[in-house]
Amino acid sequence: MKKRLHEEDCLMSELVRLTIGEARAKLRAREITSAELTDAYLSAIDAANPALNAFVAVTHDHARAMAKASDERLGKGGNGALEGIPLGIKDLFATQGFHTQAGSHILDGFKPRYESTVTANLWADGAVMLGKLNMDEFAMGSSNETSYYGPVVNPWRAKGDNKALVPGGSSGGSAAAVSAWLCAGATATDTGGSIRQPAAFTGTVGIKPTYGRCSRFGIAAFASSLDQAGPIARDVRDAAIMLKSMASVDPKDTTSVDRPVPDYEAALGGSVRGMKIGVPREYRMDGMPAEIETLWQQGIAWLKDAGAEIVEISLPHTKYALPAYYIVAPAEASSNLARYDGVRYGLRVPGRDIVDMYEKTRAAGFGREVKRRVMIGTYVLSAGYYDAYYVQAQKVRTLIKKDFEDVFAAGVEAILTPATPSAAFGIADEDMAADPVKMYLNDIFTVTVNMAGLPGIAVPAGLDGRGLPLGLQLIGRPFEEETLFRAAAIIEKAAGRFEPQKWW
């Protein structure tokens, strides 16, 4: 009996190690069933979640029902792109009938009566929902420490150290779950770096597609001109497979761009011979750790070896992207979060009249970071300050986008930069807590991409001196995600795979 249980454990732990690409093949060949795969993940989640806190809601029964339906379809020769593949869904996506709270107290008990387009696409392709993933509240954060559900713990630890590290944010739950084998892949969103930075901190692949590629319908809005959905996955192939399912043209989102979704997987293995790759001098920051520079040079060497042409470029307004973002994003957030008022959904704190109810509900329902950003946003949009701050930031944004347009017009097809200025840091790091701007600096390499609406991918490229993962970022032309997948695959092949040591 004991031996059989042990064998079962081994089989289960092998199942969760399969990538989406590998699992897909085995499911189609009927070597494994979706029921087995889903059960393996559910067991892994139940065992790991107390330590990692990646999931905020696990949908056991629903997952099993979906897996059963997938197995039936697979039995009849069904070949949905993600048939039977168990995924985790960031808490920001509306999943009909299930917990959707954007990591916030103010959406207490909210169970939407509608489905987000991105998740509807995944279910239509046969994927299985394991549950909802932890995140920074309303996607505001770079460490998953602002969540109402508490921080997520990074499955990675520094060598010889058992200090709990952040997985990055806001998609910290997504990145941690993928890295710790708690789901085959996860959905995430990125407004200033929230897919790419946590991917870099956890040794996973994350892509933020071009603005307008994925529908924002059913995704709780943070900053409407910056938000984009994208996958976090274990390798480049898996990310390509997921993005193809997630993306669509959606009449329910007026910012959804009318372009067909290409077969991203087909771009993998393509050559980068002759591809012009730009290296921007302004991304070389003062005080940047030497390890980051070394990693960057290594990435350049790998691409050069594969035949790419490396060119030094200038993106002169780079340093203004972060301050401009911290005006534009909070401004848009203050508008988007006005709807959380205790009337139609979520938390209500009673008040003596309606204004008192609004004020008390929002004070109790929003966390500190969200309040900070709503306040900044309200201030910069208020009479007397609108021109000085918001309009100025939007003008700078035009210049930031123009920097990229100029470089692309000169023939550059992709830009290589570091993904983050450091590896994962400790939970409740005192420096970060004391100064809000210090936390914001985590997004210094990623924010430019959202401001310009471009696609960006983070791919694991190495480990730092303490054995923690570091990623490289590739930025592409609008709607040329295939170029990013092709180049990222080259880096991945050269760098290898990075997996945490299981301590949980």
Shortest Å, Cβ 347 to another protein = 8
Q: Residue with structure tokens 């009449």?
A: 251
354 counts as binding another protein under rule CB under 8 A: yes
The binder of another protein chosen from 12, 57, 310, 357 (CB under 8 A)? 357
347 counts as binding another protein under rule CB under 8 A: yes
435 counts as binding another protein under rule CB under 8 A: yes
> Contacts with another protein in 442-471 (CB under 8 A)?
451-453
93 counts as binding another protein under rule CB under 8 A: no
What tokens does 464 get?
């730092």
Calculate the dihedral angle through the C-alpha atoms of 93, 20, 262, 296, rounding to the nearest 10 degrees.
Answer: 90
The binder of another protein chosen from 22, 68, 105, 225 (CB under 8 A)? 225
- Give per-residue burial for 407-421: e unless 16+ CB within 10 Å, then b: bbeeebbbbbbbbbb
Shortest Å, Cβ 374 to another protein = 5
Coil, strand or helix at 103:
coil
Q: Which residues pair with 460 in a beta bridge?
A: 471
Kindly state the number of chain residues that form the binding site for another protein, as judged by CB under 8 A: 76
In the annotation, is 170 catalytic? yes
Catalytic, out of 194, 215, 248, 334: 194
Shortest Å, Cβ 288 to another protein = 19
Catalytic, out of 34, 70, 104, 170: 170
Backbone region of residue 57 per phi and psi (left: phi > 0; alpha: psi in -120 to 50; beta: other values): beta
Neighbours of 316 (CB within 10 A): 14
Check if the beta carbon of residue 475 is closer than 8 Å to that of residue 415: yes
Calculate the dihedral angle through the C-alpha atoms of 91, 94, 100, 101, rounding to the nearest 10 degrees.
Answer: 80
Catalytic, out of 34, 70, 90, 174: 90
In the annotation, is 215 catalytic? no
- Alpha-carbon gap, residue 369 to 152, rounded angstroms: 17
The binder of another protein chosen from 138, 201, 217, 326 (CB under 8 A)? 326
314 counts as binding another protein under rule CB under 8 A: no
344 counts as binding another protein under rule CB under 8 A: yes
Shortest Å, Cβ 329 to another protein = 11
CB-based contacts of 435, cutoff 8 Å, min separation 6: none
The binder of another protein chosen from 78, 360, 406, 504 (CB under 8 A)? 360
388 counts as binding another protein under rule CB under 8 A: yes
- Alpha-carbon gap, residue 138 to 333, rounded angstroms: 9
376 counts as binding another protein under rule CB under 8 A: yes
Report the half-sphere exposure of 89 (CA within 13 A, side-chain side): 35
Indicate the residue among 345 and 504 with the shorter CB distance to another protein.
345
319 counts as binding another protein under rule CB under 8 A: yes
367 counts as binding another protein under rule CB under 8 A: no
> Contacts with another protein in 138-177 (CB under 8 A)?
none
Only one of the segments 66-74, 105-113, 135-143, 190-198 lies at the binding site for another protein (rule: CB under 8 A); that segment is 105-113
Locate all alpha helices (DSSP H) within 180-219, ordered by sequence: 196-202
- Alpha-carbon gap, residue 378 to 248, rounded angstroms: 33
* Beta strand spans in 228-275 (E): 228-233
Only one of the segments 66-74, 141-149, 210-218, 286-294 lies at the binding site for another protein (rule: CB under 8 A); that segment is 210-218
The binder of another protein chosen from 56, 241, 396, 432 (CB under 8 A)? 396
Shortest Å, Cβ 418 to another protein = 21
Indicate the residue among 100 and 202 with the shorter CB distance to another protein.
100
Check if the beta carbon of residue 134 is closer than 8 Å to that of residue 147: yes
389 counts as binding another protein under rule CB under 8 A: yes
Shortest Å, Cβ 333 to another protein = 11
What tokens does 28 get?
């189609």
348 counts as binding another protein under rule CB under 8 A: yes
Check if the beta carbon of residue 139 is closer than 8 Å to that of residue 170: yes
478 counts as binding another protein under rule CB under 8 A: yes
CB-based contacts of 350, cutoff 8 Å, min separation 6: 357, 360
Shortest Å, Cβ 432 to another protein = 13
- Alpha-carbon gap, residue 3 to 88, rounded angstroms: 31
Q: Which residues pair with 463 in a beta bridge?
A: 469
What tokens does 184 get?
């085959």
φ, ψ for residue 356 (rounded to 5)?
A: -60, -40
In the annotation, is 142 catalytic? no
251 counts as binding another protein under rule CB under 8 A: yes
393 counts as binding another protein under rule CB under 8 A: yes
The binder of another protein chosen from 394, 406, 429, 504 (CB under 8 A)? 394
192 counts as binding another protein under rule CB under 8 A: no
Q: Which residues are catalytic?
A: 90, 170, 194
